[in-house]
Structure 1
Amino acid sequence: MARRFADFAAKGLFGDEFPLHLHQYQAFKNVLINQKNIVVTSGTGSGKTESFLIPLIANILKESENWTPPKPKEESWWNTENKWKAVRSNETRKAAVRGLILYPLNALVEDQLGRLRKALDSDLARNWLKSYRNGNKLYFGRYTGKTPIPGKTTDNNKQRKLKGIMQGLEHNQAQLRDYYHNLITSLTNNLCDETKKKIKFELQNEKENEFLFDDNLSDQQINTLQLKLQGKLDEKLTFLSQVDGSELVSRWDMQEYPPDILITNFSMLNIILTRQIEQKMFETTKEWLAEDKSNSFYLILDELHAYRGTSGTEVAYVIRTLLDRLGLTPDSKQLRVLATSASLDEGGKHFLEDFFGIPIDRFEIITGEREGQIIYNESNEFKDKKDSFIGFYHEIKNKCIREEEAIKNFCQSLNSIYDPSSPLDSLYYVLEKSGVLNAFIRQCEKPRSLKDLSIELFNESLDMSAIGGLLHGIVTARRKGQVVLPLRAHLFFRNFQGLWACSNPKCSEVKEEYNYEGRRVGKLYHQPQVQCSCGSKILDFYYCQNCGDPFLGGYKIASNHPDEENGGHFI
């Protein structure tokens, strides 16, 4: 099973030869081999989501070995007739919810959809399932307030509305595939300027973009560019619902044939447990569990720490109602609980027992510890090479030379060996040897701003070029094909609370670089003031979002003074 699962996981869930983190392996082992419930408490960006996706998908994949093949599929109902027909009506295997993934927020549901599309509905995953699972698919679906269409399948108006939605999704999918197919097939030794421009745009942040500056492309370059474009297509398809794949798009399809993996939030789960129209989803799942005692229902909760207090009590009751509807109890051997949480102390263990009604000894608490700086060379060599990092940054930013040449220059400036056959490994070696990776991890034990990092590592508070060169090196370098240090940046944007402008178009306070003929307002201010330094009044600044025309606003008071225009003035 492990070999088959690894083969399938390489088609989308992971890349080829992707080494599991220890906590991901422990989750896999404890759920599938030790038959235990788990809570994973590793840090942000450590792959907690994969910790529950791996055992869930592996379990369904194992069961799918015995699924009977589906019947030949008819043409989609939305292209042939107005009457709705379930997209899985040709299937012969038992439909049931094998895994229920619950999130506290819809935004998290949307993020999860992209991962499942990549893992279960990529072209490579489809081909694998067709070859090794008799054409069966591993179905998943999002069931939230956004899912179309509420109501009964007999409503003609709603059938027409769903038909339009399905046709629109199919059109978007076909349009995207055709666009990339045309780019891929048009790659030849002599590209026309228009095609080259399109490919440059699609690969604008990829080092392979440099190939397009050559007049003639080699066969190897063409093959590399084609693979990159195919990867871009696969990536963009994760943002679309593909109506011919493993994703169930409509409520009606999920009500009739429940998906293997159902993603929703607690509010929606609470609602569908009480509505008659969704009861078939629970009934068929209950029947599936009763058919074979080896069948297991996976209950997955992400962000478990969000369910403390009164709201958590409500959620706990909803879970108990769900289990009762499925004919399960908290201590059932057919129930697997998988959860992730930011942390779990001793008090958290009591919370687990109260929340799920499961003794704590039935849980395995899995923590993921990050590798420390000790694995990297400790040296201050990099501190004397600030100019090398600055030069590397500007060569990459200005794209004046190829990335390989920039890496070569960087390695030589730090007296390190450059291997032209593996430039990214050479980049890792020079960073590791200089001691900068060790120092970087030490400084980032807690979140740090770029300015603070620049000061600590390069004694520079104004020019961020050196830290820019380091960050580019870290995200670009590879060690045996693997990312060296996965980074997570938090970008904070503060919206304007308001803008104010001098009412004099000829304002003397406007800097020359911002002054132009036809300017209709004076200097802009981010804080309210009464009067500009030029002597004119400052008013609220507004602009039309459609055409961009500027306006000034204020309060006008009446005046009988003969010099006041229109008998009043702004304050």
Structure 2
Amino acid sequence: MPLSYFSRLFPRLQDRIREAVPSTLPLNNDSLRHCLDAMLTCAPGEKGSLTGDPSFEATFGWRQADVTLAELTGQLLDKRLVQCLNDPPEELRQDYAFPLERSPYMHQLEAWKTLCQEEPASAVISSGTGSGKTECFMIPILHRLARQSAKEGGPLEGVRALFLYPLNALISSQRDRLDAWTRGFKGDVRFCLYNGNTPNSLPAHEKKHANEVLSREELRACPPPILFTNASMLEYMLVRTEDAPILQRSQGKLEWIVLDEAHCYIGSQAAELSLLLRRVQMAFGVTPDSVRFVATSATIGDPEGPAGQDLKRFLADVAGVPVTQVSLIAGERMIPELPPLEEQAITLETLENMSPETSRDAPRHAALCRSKTAKGIRSLFTRDKTVARLSEICALLQEHGLSGDVATALRWLDVLSWTLGDDGTPFLPLRAHIFGKGLPGLWACVDPKCPHRQKELQDDWPYGAVWTGSRLHCSCGSPVYEIVTCRGCRTPFLVAQKQDLTDQDGLPAEFLRHK
């Protein structure tokens, strides 16, 4: 049934966990198996569950600018670049075409205006998934490279834009986009994805297009203006003799340093990154005042609040530039207003029975606009944030005098996210973020008379309460040890190590903790 999505997804997830986890812990004890099964059937976010409190993100559309790409051509963006964006290679057109008649998002336009100016400026791009963060910095970089190529009258040599990604998978994900937007430059603007998998050399017949550098040999002979890499490879590049030509042919040319997923760098990682960037600038023969630094990050709350200021300060610190030189550019959701209709008491069952096979249903949409509960849930995502936890939704249902169990909350989310108005606008478009964790092992209290012993544990279980996390003592105060199984018969028992530690009275150390 199409209307049932989240309410089916979470039980299936729980079933998969119940099937998978016991197979990693073969147990020849009925009570312990029943106890573990009960733990794994806990609702998401409950104590003992292997799935944390899920978060739901409202995926309303992003606010668009009132100008098209065609209108920006020649004014803000290079004509040759716009042609590459509008008409990429046919096999890449469906995913990466940016048509002339399309309007960019407001945060994209703001980023272009900030980064396309002649004077170096730095920026933190903070926006949600699918909001076009990459376009925010990639298009200004390609714009400047296109202008430089036209000025120099040929292919650009030397690294001018350095992209630092934390994972090789993220580096590889940019290949098709770069191919789509640079192939039209006929080799004048090239790129290279440089990681541990980059081969030393390739036969000439394997190079299909002039815009991508595929081997280390070609990278060293004629460094492209765009270089994607990770911190480890960058460290090697700074010290390896064979990579010295890259630095020599790029002296004084580096103008861009892009840090993707900047929120991944915390604590000592951020300090190491800051030192690395200073070494990079010295090696390339540039200074911070001549480099444009760009960082992307996950969505934040109020851009003008503490979180936004922290992001600006982070980039300023790692880049070695004044914080006044850093702009924070955040995406803004476009949240449709609901019509002012008189509230009515409408049950969940009534809503579910209104054309359940059809998402575009005006009567159901109007009923949701009249429902105090439906509007209350929607307000969790629209007042001052676009993310709410499942526990918050359960609590709101209880405030409205309704059942606040997980199953009911998920049914409400199904109805709200499934329903479209006459114009195709969803009442509450949602994306679920589910957090899982592994089961590191099982631990048990040594006292068979433990008052916290689970009801599933019968006479065949010789110990006390079972725990899914490591701890020294049970809630009853008795010692807790890890459960292990015999490799032969799979019988569970507790493993402990005896230590001959006594005090002056000859009492064991374990006893001392209970004196």
1:491 offset after TM fit, Å? 0.8
Q: Which residue of 2 aligns with 1:176?
A: none
Alpha-carbon spacing, 1:7–1:381, altered in 2? closer, same or farther (3 Å): farther
Q: Match for 2:138 among 12, 35, 53?
A: 53
Q: Distance in 1 between matches of 2:370 and 2:159?
A: 51
Deviations along 1:439-492, one digit per CA (max 9) or x if unpaired, are 445213374333542563683434746745645764785998898866443211
Aligned equivalent of 1:262, options 227, 235, 239: 227
Does 1:366 find its partner at 2:329?
yes
Map residues 403-482 of structure 1 onto 2, 5 A cutoff.
406-407=358-359, 410-413=361-364, 439-444=376-381, 445=385, 447-450=387-390, 452-453=392-393, 456=396, 459-462=402-405, 464=407, 467-468=410-411, 470-471=413-414, 474=417
Give the partner amino acid of 1:278. D
- Letter matched to residue 38 of structure 1: S
State the Cα distance separating 1:390 from its structure 2 match: 2.8
How many residue pairs are counted as aligned between the two chains? 372
Q: For each residue in 1:263-286, what CA deviation from the matched residue of structure 2 results, as whole angstroms up to 9, or x when unmatched?
A: 223333222111111122222223
Kept in 2, the 8 Å contact 1:100–1:299? The answer is yes
1:296-445 equivalent positions in 2, closer than 5 A: 297-304=255-262, 311-332=269-290, 335-341=291-297, 353-371=316-334, 375-377=337-339, 381=343, 384=346, 386-391=348-353, 395=356, 406-407=358-359, 410-413=361-364, 439-444=376-381, 445=385
Q: Could you tell me how far 1:42 is from its partner in structure 2?
A: 3.1
Is the Cα contact below 8 Å between 1:96 and 1:260 reproduced in 2? yes
Does the aligned pair in 1 maintain the 2:312–2:328 contact within 8 Å? no
Provide closer, same or farther for how the CA distance between residues 463 and 55 of structure 1 changes in structure 2, counting only shifts above 3 A.
Answer: same
Gaps of 5+ in 2: 1-72, 87-92, 301-305, 444-451, 464-481, 496-515
Taking the TM superposition and a 5 Å limit, the aligned residue runs for 1:185-204 are: none
| Counterpart-to-counterpart distance in 1, 2:107 and 2:288 | 25
Equivalent position to 2:192, from 125, 141, 152: 141
1:119 to 152, 169, 177: 177
1:110 paired with 2:158, answer no
2:309 & 2:406 partners in 1: Cα distance? Answer: 46
Over the residues paired in the alignment, what is the CA RMSD in angstroms? 5.0
Return the offset for 1:31: 0.9
Q: Please tell me whether the aligned partners of residues 386 and 466 of structure 1 are also in contact (alpha carbons under 8 angstroms).
A: no
- After superposition, the Cα gap between the structure-2 partners of 1:413 and 1:479, relative to the gap in structure 1 and judged at 3 Å, is closer
2:123 paired with 1:39: yes
Deviation per CA, 1:24-64: give whole Å up to 9, x if none: 21110111135342322535435444322232233334555
Give the Cα separation in 2 of the matches to 1:364 and 1:542: 58
**C-alpha distance in structure 2 between counterparts of 1:20 and 1:362, whole Å:** 24
Query: Quick check: 1:379–1:434 contact (8 Å CA) kept in 2?
Result: no
The 3 A distance-change label for structure 1 pair 360 and 541 is closer
Separation in 2, partners of 1:330, 1:477: 50
**8 Å Cα contact 2:157/2:249 also seen in 1:** yes
1:277 aligns with 2:277: no
Contact 1:389 1:470 in 2 (8 A): no
Measured in 2, the distance between the counterparts of 1:392 and 1:48 equals 39
Indicate the SS of the match to 1:406. Answer: coil
Deviates more, 1:345-354 or 1:299-308: 345-354
5+ residue gaps, structure 1, are: 69-91, 154-158, 171-241, 290-295, 396-404, 417-429, 501-526, 557-571
More helix by percentage: 1
Question: Structure 2 vs 1, CA of residues 320 and 490 (structure 1 numbering), >3 Å: closer, same or farther?
Answer: same
Q: Which amino acid aligns with 1:147?
A: N
* TM-score, normalising length: structure 2: 0.56
In 2, distance between residues paired with 1:51 and 1:388?
Answer: 45
C-alpha distance in structure 1 between counterparts of 2:418 and 2:428, whole Å = 7
Which stretch has the larger CA shift, 249-258 or 314-323?
Answer: 249-258
| Cα deviation, residue 330, structure 1 | 1.9
Q: CA shift at 1:370, angstroms? A: 4.2
- Say if 1:363 and 1:531 are closer, same or farther in 2 by CA, change over 3 A: closer
Inter-partner Cα distance in structure 2 for 1:101 and 1:391: 52
